[in-house]
Amino acid sequence: MKIAVWLFFAVAGWCAIGLLGTVVSLARNRRAEAVKNVAWVTTVAGVYLVVLLAVSAFQKQRVVAIEQNQCFGSMCFRVIGVDEVPGLVSGATDRVVRVRIAIANRGRSAAEEPAIRAYLLDSRGRRWVTLPGLTGNRLTSRIAGESEIVSQPMFRVGSDATGLGLVLTHGSWQSRNLIIGDSDSVAHKPTIVALGR
């Protein structure tokens, strides 16, 4: 586990203990002690959030090359190819981009990354989501230990979209949003795989 994860759990634990102490102080009619506990919890949480936002604002966006792993625990995702699928969307001026992603489980037992999602970002910051039902193996598939599968999500992108990059995310409103330096943390620029399109 990274130091940032341990720091998150330490701060969360400190705040939980502080809030519990506040409740106990109030139950014993020790109002001054309760106010002091709330002040400590607020200060520690506030400093942590300021550091989180500062790191997110000043850290450069990480760009990953094709064939380079992005790992989340024992699960690793690697873009192995990208191409366009002509004629899949009839009568549209948009294009369909297929990204081949190798998903490897480096652990010994079966595992999955249940919250992982993918989208494309273009040079103008527009987000392009996957076309439903066309991925083959899902990014969230359960994979046997020390095995690998390939997922092929497809994205409908505008004909004027350039500078495409793939983003793998765990979404909003989860604990990774509060881990300092994580690509899913609040206000952090997402890690992208430059697709060269």
81 in the same domain as 45: no
CB 162 within 8 A of CB 39: no
* Global pTM value: 0.81
Looking at residue 182, its pLDDT comes to: 84
CATH assignment of the domain containing 85 = 2.60.40.1240
Residues 38 and 112 in one domain: no
pLDDT single digits (tens) 55-96: 999 989 899 999 999 998 899 999 999 999 887 666 667 889
Decide if 130 contacts 119 (C-beta within 8 A).
yes
Same domain, 75 and 128: yes
Output the average pLDDT for the chain.
Answer: 90
Same domain? 128 vs 157: yes
Mark whether 47 and 131 lie in a shared domain: no
The whole-number pLDDT of residue 31 equals 92
Do 46 and 88 lie in one domain? The reply is: no
**Residue range 33-39: mean pLDDT, rounded:** 93
Dmax of the chain from CA atoms? 73
Instruction: Clarify whether residues 90 and 187 are in a common domain.
Output: yes
pLDDT at 1 over 60: no
Mean pLDDT of 170-182: 82
What domain range is 10 assigned to?
3-58
* CA Rg value for the chain: 22
| pLDDT score at 77 | 96
